[in-house]
A = this chain, B = another copy of it.
Amino acid sequence: MAIELKPLQALTLLKTVALAEVRDEMPDLTWRQMAILLTVYLEPSPHTVRGLAAKLGVTKPVITRALDTMGAMGLVSRHRDEKDRRNVLIKRTVSGALYVERLGDLVIAKSRELPL
């Protein structure tokens, strides 16, 4: 069954996440970092810097720097592609998976209090 979500409900979910972000209830990620994180965790591998830059419509340095930050947070990791050592493959981590799971749980938990 397809989900039935009304605009007001969708916006309330978004507000919930925004408030949680602002109120330090979760690590602060920029929109770009969030887009990268969810792409890496929700779409099939492999993920490269160039591929992510193309998908997000931004330049490569944006991806490199976001990976620096998120790598320091332990949310993703980088590995050289042994088949083509020019490529860098972005991989998931345990911490990152936990973060994404917690993010999903947050939305689910708050969605139970949504206006109809």
Q: Using CB atoms and an 8 Å cutoff, list the residues of chain A in contact with chain B.
A: 1-15, 17-19, 21-24, 28, 30-32, 34-35, 38-39, 41-42, 55-58, 100-101, 103-105, 107-108, 111-112, 114, 116
> Quick one: which of A1, A2, A22, A104 has the most chain B CB within 10 A?
A22
Taken together, the copies of this chain in the complex come to 2
Bound CA–CA A93/B67 (angstroms): 38
A111 touching B11, Cβ below 8 Å: no
Bound CA–CA A25/B45 (angstroms): 25
Bound CA–CA A30/B21 (angstroms): 10
Point out the residues of chain B lying under 8 angstroms from A112, CB to CB: 2
Bound CA–CA A13/B11 (angstroms): 11
